[in-house]
Copies of this chain bind each other. A is one copy, B any other.
């Protein structure tokens, strides 16, 4: 079978499979799962067929409560039904999930796992939502990458039909849902061959049917309820076997072989980690790195978290293991340990292994090889339970100690980082670049796009990796070959060149003349450039964009410059592919737009200039002062580091314990990101006052005032 590879994100991977196996999707989109519902809806509108030759029926409800109720109803009516959700959305589905599981209705919920709102809301990823569903009776399947999201979704859809137990298939919100990787796209013909139609018929036979009326959703009294609850045991007992059976079948058909618990690392490891989701990828990468350096460590990837098979876990752990750290991506205040820890600890009661539990990655907090190394170190030393990793808990001192920064990425990966401005087209252009490279070379690609909840108007950082092997690094770029800065106002504010490697490349969009560029960088940047022998390029992308009629949209210019300098593809091939992509994207808006962009490509190619680097520093850009000296502690300790994108360094002691924070701090956020500053034209002002409403910082305020009071007013006229 010819393999079909494509650069897609995790949401697309899950939707591709959910669509294949479902007749109905009842949805209520929520971040970061929204693209799943929206994509399913769009595909359905386009008439795409599932593996049974049907078009998916997509129903959007008034809330996740209604969506899950519709799923329950559709399943009762015998329609294979799915849904997509996360976080608070999943919370609203819990009551119906108990009913769906109680009635043994096969379905797969696809969840891009996301934090719950506690101290504060967060749209980012962790497992606190899915862990809240662990008592519903749903089977829980965890994927660690985009490929696994697709593969395990197939296995879930197959296993639910045979086991009659409903499944929840989850993957890490943002990290997997929004990351792009080149993965094998499974064709519907192959999926169709995997389905056992007798289980579809079994499901249909149990549907409500006026010809054979049965009653359900009734009430039970103390006399029989308990017996009814125990009647499901035998189905749950065999579910792990059924899942493994389909994992085997999948391996025979497709090639990748999964197990309920997959072990990787030294066969004689003494220390191992156990976790779920994307952490398993980074851990595997790190374990390989450490073992190459002579350590004997390993890791377990949990694939099927519920029903939890103690037997399968025990048999996956080498006899040699003496210490285990169990990593939970959730927090349950007041518990003795988080859920996966409790399960592992209980499952291994009969083995003489020291087991400790820790928390990592809450709300998409980074989880890197360096942190993983610190956990193995922790096992060697303090080995305390209830540790945290990735933060500085200076209050209850739970954090593991970082003793050594390591770079566990395999050789030969090219790493490129792009600093953009939300809505400037940088992220879109980078997604485009990944697809160009992914779909036109043998290279594996990965793109992850970091942005804050400001979305449009905030900072965006695109993290791109290209390499010859599948990419397991589920974390941001630390060592970078190429840095592009699309917004010169970030200089001095953010650590733009942080992590750039010796001999790396720096591409700058600025309106400075090329020989002025160096003097406009901060001293720290200048030192880095000189010491690390960085090649610096400059381009006035805004001028070109404006000149060819693209206004502020600098993305085509910067994309061309990236391909020209990075050498990922031969220059002429790159330019041809960029132009093809432009044609494909814009032809629906007319040849004129295509021409403008093509012109931008040609102009960029010509305008790019290398910046001469002096041997020593003569003049540097000043560092803007963000927070006044008299500001209160919260602004200094929390707001200022966040403004510098150093929020990860804020220790626990500086955070409010109850989420309450001072008001009026936005006034400190003088970002200077606009290339133009508006001027008030008094002669045109009709005093409609809309500017007051529109200004997000309340820099413009309306006052009603007597003429005479203005006598002593300062002069605000333009000069």
By a beta-carbon cutoff of 8 Å, the part of chain A in contact with chain B is 88, 91-92, 94-95, 98-99, 101-105, 115-124, 128, 131-132, 134-135, 137-139, 164-165, 206, 213-237, 239, 306-308, 310, 330-337, 339, 341-343, 345-347, 349, 355, 359, 361-366, 388, 390-393, 395-396, 398, 452-453, 638, 642, 645-648, 650-664
Contacts and interface: CB of A to CB of B under 8 A. Distances in A.
A218 B120 contact: yes
Contact of A225 (B105, B124, B135): B124
B334 A137 contact: yes
Nearest to A343: B336
Given A132-B135, A232-B333, 9 more contacts: A104-B658, A117-B217, A121-B220, A137-B333, A223-B647, A225-B363, A226-B390, A230-B388, A308-B334
A117 B132 contact: no
Contact of A139 (B103, B219, B334): B334
A693 to B, nearest CB: 20
B342 A223 contact: no
A139 B359 CA distance: 20
22 contacts: A98-B117, A102-B117, A115-B225, A118-B137, A121-B219, A123-B219, A124-B225, A131-B135, A165-B333, A213-B663, A214-B661, A216-B660, A216-B661, A218-B659, A223-B647, A224-B642, A227-B391, A230-B388, A230-B391, A233-B396, A335-B343, A336-B343
**Which 3 residue pairs spanning A and B have beta carbons closest together?**
A223-B647, A102-B118, A225-B363
A217 B120 contact: yes
A77 to B, nearest CB: 13
Contacts of A359: 226, 230
B230 A393 contact: yes
B231 A656 contact: yes
A101 B135 contact: no
A95 B98 contact: no
A530 B225 CA distance: 37
Which of A102, A334, A452, A647 has the most chain B CB within a 10 Å cutoff? A334
A589 to B, nearest CB: 34
A197 B453 CA distance: 41
Contacts of A224: 638, 642, 647, 650, 655
Contact of A215 (B98, B229, B660): B660
B363 A221 contact: yes
B234 A396 contact: yes
A390 to B, nearest CB: 7
Contact of A122 (B221, B388, B395, B653): B221
A221 B645 CA distance: 11
A227 B651 contact: yes
Given A224-B647, A225-B365, A95 B95 contact: no
Contacts of A218: 120-121, 659, 661
Contacts of A646: 223
Contact of A395 (B233, B647, B655): B233
A645 B307 CA distance: 35
Contacts of A115: 225
B214 A663 contact: yes
A72 to B, nearest CB: 11
A659 B118 contact: no
Contacts of A659: 102-103, 216-218, 228
A343 B343 CA distance: 9
Nearest to A235: B657
B334 A364 contact: no
Nearest to A392: B227
Contacts of A452: 221
A650 B223 contact: yes
A214 B662 contact: yes
A143 B84 CA distance: 39
Given A218-B659, A310-B336, A223 B648 contact: yes
Nearest to A399: B230
A363 B652 contact: no
A233 to B, nearest CB: 4
B119 A103 contact: yes
Nearest to A395: B234
B134 A332 contact: yes
A234 B658 CA distance: 12
A630 B131 CA distance: 49
Contacts of A88: 95
B333 A222 contact: no
Nearest to A653: B231
Which of A101, A219, A345, A638 has the most chain B CB within a 10 Å cutoff? A219
A121 B359 CA distance: 36
A98 B120 CA distance: 10
Contacts of A102: 117-120, 658-659
Given A216-B661, A225-B122, A647-B221, A135 B335 contact: yes
A704 to B, nearest CB: 22
A366 B363 CA distance: 44
Contacts of A660: 103, 206, 214-216
Contacts of A365: 222, 225-226
A312 to B, nearest CB: 12
A119 B363 contact: no
A137 B332 contact: yes
A663 B656 CA distance: 58
B228 A333 contact: no
A255 B95 CA distance: 42
Contact of A101 (B118, B229, B308): B118
A239 B224 CA distance: 39
A364 B118 contact: no
Nearest to A309: B336
A88 to B, nearest CB: 5
B121 A656 contact: no
Contacts of A101: 118, 333
Contacts of A124: 221-222, 225
A239 B345 CA distance: 25
B123 A98 contact: no
Contact of A345 (B231, B349, B395): B349
Nearest to A341: B346
Contact of A233 (B98, B219, B339, B398): B398
Nearest to A664: B213
A136 to B, nearest CB: 8
Which of A164, A395, A652 has the most chain B CB within a 10 Å cutoff? A652
Contacts of A363: 220-222, 225-226
A67 to B, nearest CB: 15
Given A222-B365, A231-B395, A657-B231, A663 B342 contact: no
A137 B656 CA distance: 17
